[in-house]
Amino acid sequence: MPGPTHDDQHDGEPFIPGRPGPKPPPLEEPTEPREPLPPKKDQSGPEVYTATGEHLDADPTVRAQKGSRLTNAQGTRLYDTDHSLKAGERGPVLLQDHHLREKITHFDHERIPERVVHARGAAAHGVFRGYGTASQVCKAAFLGKDVETPVFVRFSTVLGNRGSADTVRDTRGFATKFYTSEGVFDLVGNNIPVFFIQDAIKFPDVVHAAKPHPDREIPQAQSAHDTFWDFVSLHTEATHHTLWNMSDRGIPRSFRTMEGFGVHTFRLVDAEGGTTLVKFHWKPKLGVHSMVWEEAQITGGMDPDFHRRDLADAIEAGAFPEWELGIQTFPDTPEQTFRGIDLLDPTKIVPEEWAPVQPIGLLALTANPSNFFAETEQVAFHPGHLVPGVDITDDPLLAGRLFSYIDTQITRLGGPNFAQIPVNRTHAPVNDMLRDGLHQSGVHSGVAPYQPNSLDGGCPFFAGAGEGAYVETPVTVERASKVRESPASFADHTSHPRRFYLSLSAVEREHVIAAYTFELSKCYEDAIKQRNLRVLADIDPGLCAGVAAGLGLPAPEPSAPLADVEPSPALSQLGHTWPTDGRVLGIIADENSDLAALSSLRSTVLDSGMVPLVIAPHGGELTGSGGPVVAQRTFANARSVEFDAVLIAGAPGMGADAYGARDVKAAQSAGGGNVDPRVLLLVSEAYRHAKALGAWGGGADVLAAAGCPQSGAGIVVADDPQAVLAQVTELLGAHRVWDRFPPGNTVSS
Ligand code: HDE
């Protein structure tokens, strides 16, 4: 009996190429005029009237598109949009063609400035549900038990332009807009818990250093260049963040498998006015996973939209990504320190072993945006969007951010009314006294937008703290001299990076050494390499020696005795078992594979929440014995990086479009036999990237031809495909077959 295909097995579910779902209806040429598609939830806005009182939409939904006929921006119907108005068919175009001018003028202004940092991003809608566990320390309504709050989350890279690749080595933004009943709260965090600098005044400098060189504008979306390494070696407070960037955290597997951090210490306020200092953490339900560097590089070329696609596909398939929000809590003492760590220093973290992360709510991303520009591009975050119960501290980095975000939106979104853009609109009632400005879309009533007034009946009235007003915590500010200085506690730039490095497993340290070596080897100036080696010598001599060896430079001695720090095991990504939901299995097959067994294997994979993608010599269907089986990928378009594990269902021969005869001969003479060279590449890469490999029905020969062992760490060969799958699934719980990485020089002291 033929096994299920994605054509017939999942009626009623959304269709995603390569994922379960119904077959889309055939494309037809439309002939009858019809209304636009009904609006989605995120295309709704408040009820709107024109200035003359016309009710714009009865349902009450403001839509960009209405009616079945093409109109101009004024709603006048058009009969043609393909021809300019001309004096005769071959004559000159007339200036009086207002439709041409409106169309071209609007087009000329379609682009807005991209974000100065975090330009490349992807976003999703979702919902946050409070556990109620934070209510003891925070009065914010959205943290109450089972309170559900709509959210919009944007993930981003920092350095690259809007069109840059997703998988570059960089920090990732993790910005969440909570549309709470008490106003908008933005938690504008990163996937790295510390920052490069301790004072906002240096932000333009660090960004100038990290962005492409101003003369040639290269490299794009990279820190592997002289100015970046010049800056971080001269501003050693950047060492901790840089070390995280050079670790596997700098190349996440997906947005779904990233942690998030609020970075700064915030102050929560309870119903009685009591305060607690906290650090925010987002913990992904799927675990924290990264790429290996070669994978990230290949993916950057093969699928620059990899993270964006992964997020959208997962949501579309109903595999909603989830994170738990947690807080580390610290007493709000006058010193604002915890076990000697200055909580106002954003280059420091408090180990989770000392202050456990306590879960306070669950975030699920449940819907993709309907329009990238309207939502993902126009969303405007601001750390100053706070709600009663959440207050700031005197972290000097945060202070600068509180100014910067609102300022940048004025340029980027063209004026001060960006809060009126649908994605930025609060869900709480607004009654402000802000008026006019570019792109004002409110038609305000009343004549007295000032307080107090007598002409508008005194409206709007103030709320007291008991009526939900945002009241700043009355923190005592001591009288002091004005200075441009940092406190002495900000001077320790080595002990925290050292703790991070010592908390990593041997293989993670090896990756850090390789990343530093790669990046510094891209610098032209030896002086910059040497200065960075001096910084590393003060973090860990093993790290310094490894990088120095790679660069062919002598390793300097530490400039001071090394800090005696206790490692924090929570900082390592290894040693955990994670759920396998959403993991992608590539299954190599051809007409000669046992297709009946393959079909039932696909069903088992789907039932366990993973994604099976059959990789075949050609598109369409495999129709051999036990078929048909639909191919989701072909030898021509699949690359190992897309898969978390690779299964080989038999020994597939050469694809119909295999490389030219010369390459095939080369592959064969290199021991590949009749196996398609692209399959050999795929398998050998998966092996090199420490992915689980499974084979049956002759698949072991492919392993051999690809130069991989047929047994050993993470290699499963058996007759029964289901038995292979069971073992591979178990291996996936650890994400990679870590033992496969060769032990390197990770000696540290
Ligand atoms: Fe930002 N940052 N930042 N930043 N940041 C921006 O705001 C800024 C910092 C972060 O998806 C900009 O709307 C200053 C830390 C994210 O739209 C800008 C300083 C953290 C995003 C800005 C920092 C962040 C931004 C550019 C030093 C982690 C993307 C466009 C004081 C806690 C938000 C924009 C999105 C974006 C300024 C440091 C996170 C220019 C001055 C620390 C996730 O306003």
User: Is 115 annotated as contributing to ligand binding?
Assistant: yes
Strands 172-180 and 183-190: antiparallel
User: Is 687 annotated as contributing to ligand binding?
Assistant: no
* 240, 497 contact by CB (below 8 A): yes
CB distance 423 to ligand 1 below 6 Å: no
Domains and CATH numbers, the chain: 121-424 (2.40.180.10), 584-732 (3.40.50.880)
192 phi-psi bin (left φ>0, alpha ψ -120 to 50, beta other): beta
Whose CA is closest to 689, among 245, 293, 410, 278?
A: 293
Among 32-46, 125-139, 568-582, the range scoring the smallest mean pLDDT is 32-46
Task: Judge whether residue 9 has pLDDT over 60.
Answer: no
CA distance linking residue 655 with residue 680, whole number of Å = 12
Sign of CA dihedral 122, 126, 131, 134: positive
Task: Judge whether residue 323 has pLDDT over 50.
Answer: yes
Q: What is the pLDDT of residue 88?
A: 97
Rounded to the nearest 5 percent, the helix, strand and coil shares of the chain are 30, 15, 55
| Token code pair at residue 641 | 């990086």
| Token code pair at residue 6 | 């994605």
Compute the average pLDDT of residues 317-333.
Answer: 96
CB neighbour list of residue 477: distance below 8 Å, 6 or more residues apart: none
Whose CA is closest to 391, among 268, 261, 262?
A: 268
38 phi-psi bin (left φ>0, alpha ψ -120 to 50, beta other): beta
CB distance 130 to ligand 1 below 6 Å: no
Q: Which amino acid is at 720?
A: D
Q: Sorting pLDDT into bands at 50, 70 and 90, what band is 713?
A: very high
Task: List the beta bridge partners of residue 180.
Answer: 183
* 626, 595 contact by CB (below 8 A): yes
CB distance 202 to ligand 1 below 6 Å: no
Task: Judge whether residue 651 has pLDDT over 90.
Answer: no
How many Å is the Cα radius of gyration of the chain?
29
Ligand 1 centre distance from Cα of residue 614 (Å)? 41
* 701, 651 contact by CB (below 8 A): yes
Within 10 angstroms of residue 47's Cβ, the number of other Cβ atoms is: 13
Compute the average pLDDT of residues 202-208.
Answer: 98
Compute the average pLDDT of residues 61-88.
Answer: 87
Sign of CA dihedral 294, 297, 301, 305: positive
Q: What angle do CA 168, 171, 174 make, to 5 degrees?
A: 115
Q: What is the pLDDT of residue 17?
A: 47
Q: What is the pLDDT of residue 442?
A: 86
Task: Judge whether residue 1 has pLDDT over 50.
Answer: no
Whose CA is closest to 204, among 485, 382, 400?
A: 400
CB distance 239 to ligand 1 below 6 Å: no
Task: List the beta bridge partners of residue 645.
Answer: 585, 692
Q: Give residue-wise pLDDT tens across range 404-448.
A: 999 999 999 999 999 999 999 999 999 999 999 999 988 898 999
CB distance 175 to ligand 1 below 6 Å: yes
Ligand 1 pocket mutation pick from 112, 176, 187, 188 by most atoms within 8 angstroms of CB: 188
Among 61-70, 372-381, 546-555, the range scoring the smallest mean pLDDT is 61-70
Q: Sorting pLDDT into bands at 50, 70 and 90, what band is 83?
A: very high
Q: What angle do CA 89, 95, 100 make, to 5 degrees?
A: 75
Compute the average pLDDT of residues 689-700.
Answer: 95
CB neighbour list of residue 262: distance below 8 Å, 6 or more residues apart: 187, 189, 279, 280, 281
Name the residue with the closest Cα to ligand 1, atom 41.
Answer: 401
* 10, 22 contact by CB (below 8 A): yes
Name the residue with the closest Cα to ligand 1, atom 1.
Answer: 401
Strands 692-696 and 715-717: parallel
Among 5-14, 25-34, 216-225, 232-241, the range scoring the smallest mean pLDDT is 5-14
User: Is 195 annotated as contributing to ligand binding?
Assistant: no
CB distance 396 to ligand 1 below 6 Å: no
Compute the average pLDDT of residues 302-322.
Answer: 95
User: Is 203 annotated as contributing to ligand binding?
Assistant: yes
Within 10 angstroms of residue 506's Cβ, the number of other Cβ atoms is: 16
Q: What is the pLDDT of residue 745?
A: 44
Q: Sorting pLDDT into bands at 50, 70 and 90, what band is 746?
A: very low
Q: Which amino acid is at 525?
A: E
Helix, strand or coil for residue 692? strand
CA distance linking residue 695 with residue 601, whole number of Å = 13
User: Is 412 annotated as contributing to ligand binding?
Assistant: yes
* 647, 725 contact by CB (below 8 A): yes
* 486, 235 contact by CB (below 8 A): no
Cβ burial, residue 468 (10 Å; 0-12/13-18/19+): middle
CA distance linking residue 438 with residue 418, whole number of Å = 9
Ligand 1 centre distance from Cα of residue 237 (Å)? 19
The ipTM (two decimal places) reads 0.97
Sign of CA dihedral 476, 479, 482, 488: negative
Name the residue with the closest Cα to ligand 1, atom 11.
Answer: 154
Cα–chain center distance at 554:
38
Q: Give residue-wise pLDDT tens across range 13-63.
A: 444 444 555 566 677 777 888 777 776 777 666 566 677 777 665 544 455
- Give the DSSP H/E element, type plus range, for residue 527: helix 526-537
The residues annotated with a catalytic role in the active site are: 118, 190
Q: What is the dihedral of CA 380, 382, 384, 389, to 10 degrees?
A: 90
Helix, strand or coil for residue 615? strand
Ligand 1 centre distance from Cα of residue 116 (Å)? 9
Q: What is the pLDDT of residue 659?
A: 55
Q: What is the pLDDT of residue 748?
A: 46
Q: What is the pLDDT of residue 18?
A: 47
Sign of CA dihedral 253, 255, 256, 257: positive
Task: Judge whether residue 159 has pLDDT over 70.
Answer: yes
Q: What is the pLDDT of residue 48?
A: 67
For 546, phi then psi, to 5°, come to: -60, -45
Cα–chain center distance at 132:
27
| Token code pair at residue 20 | 């379960």
CA distance linking residue 649 with residue 696, whole number of Å = 6
Q: What is the pLDDT of residue 68?
A: 87
CA distance linking residue 657 with residue 141, whole number of Å = 61
| Token code pair at residue 629 | 């089986």
CA distance linking residue 306 with residue 253, whole number of Å = 9
Q: Give residue-wise pLDDT tens across range 493-515.
A: 999 999 999 999 999 999 999 99
Q: What percent of the chain clears pLDDT 70, i.e. is strictly above it?
A: 91
Q: Sorting pLDDT into bands at 50, 70 and 90, what band is 627?
A: confident
Whose CA is closest to 544, among 744, 250, 746?
A: 746
| DSSP states along 274-342 | -EEEEEEEEEETT---B--HHHHHHHHHH-TTHHHHHHHHHHHTT---EEEEEEEEEE--TT-EETTEE
Ligand 1 centre distance from Cα of residue 357 (Å)? 24
* 438, 420 contact by CB (below 8 A): no
Task: Judge whether residue 735 has pLDDT over 60.
Answer: yes
Among 492-496, 517-521, 624-628, the range scoring the smallest mean pLDDT is 624-628
Q: Sorting pLDDT into bands at 50, 70 and 90, what band is 111?
A: very high
Q: Give residue-wise pLDDT tens across range 474-497.
A: 999 989 999 999 999 999 999 999
Among 336-340, 442-446, 681-685, the range scoring the smallest mean pLDDT is 442-446
Ligand 1 centre distance from Cα of residue 231 (Å)? 19
CA distances, 287 to each of 188, 191, 328, 350, 582 (Å): 21, 13, 19, 21, 12
CA distance linking residue 14 with residue 287, whole number of Å = 26
Q: What is the pLDDT of residue 5?
A: 37
Cis peptide before 677 (omega within 30 of 0): no
CB distance 675 to ligand 1 below 6 Å: no
